[in-house]
Amino acid sequence: MMGNPADAHIIRVQGLMTRFGTHTVHDGLDLDVRRGEIIGVVGGSGTGKSVLLRAIVGLLKPAAGQIEVFGESVRDTPEAAYRRLRRRWGVMFQDGALFSSLTVQQNVEAPMREQSQLAPELRETLAGIKVRMVGLPETALAKYPAELSGGMRRRAGFARAIALDPEIVFLDEPTAGLDPIGAAAFDILIKQLQAALGLTVFLVTHDLDSLYAICDRVAVLADGRVLAVGSVADMDAVDHPWVQEYFHGPRARAAQATAGGS
């Protein structure tokens, strides 16, 4: 799964500092993401999980630090080089973040129109393939986001994220607000597509079930940095109040029991 040891770390974040006005979100944050893994990024409210995701994909300029993806700097990169880099990842923001005025078909085709020179007929065919890959019926292609359930919107957002056959997929709270059955089904979808497509998955989540069910490693954000990185089992050794409460509370025990029985 790791491939060439030279490029084992597909994402490297070093000394990241992010600020909004006088408020510091990240203060010297370091994180390496391994090629082919599913890494879950967790932390309390305000710890900057989504901010970290946006900084890595170049949507937010940090105050300091280095971010490399595929061995290339995301910061201060010429626009042409950044566009080439961006084609190698896909992003799904919260609730799918679909364009409300576009159909599912048009939403999934959007990255193809923006970042490729594909003929319209080929875009249409590929969009249909991606929609089926995420488990949506073909009839969903003609629907608008408002006509879809929450779970279907997430799947459509996932289809758009993999539209250009990326190597990395960034998922921001993909199961938030879903019922337990829908959330579990989406976790299975992530794992299946990660294995089938050889994806690296950067998963921002608060869902303990997802951590136990599909994540290879967990990165915990606290106090402006990555407090700990490792398997869920490794979190037992982390002596921090939030980590202890999060990984040893009733919900964690229930998630562990569910994962152990699956």
- pTM, rounded to two decimals: 0.91
Could you tell me which residues are beta bridge partners of residue 11? 33, 69
Using DSSP's 3-state secondary structure scheme, residue 103 falls into coil
Is 90 exceeded by the pLDDT of residue 172?
yes
Domains in the chain with CATH codes: 36-60+85-261 (3.40.50.300)
120-133 helix and 104-115 helix, angle to the nearest 10 degrees:
120
Helix (H) or strand (E) holding 239: none
**What number is the average pLDDT over the span 234-242?**
91
In the block, tokens 């954000």 appear at: 221
Is 70 exceeded by the pLDDT of residue 251?
no
Q: Among 167, 182, 184, which Cα is nearest to 91's? A: 167
Is 80 exceeded by the pLDDT of residue 137?
yes
Average pLDDT, the chain: 91
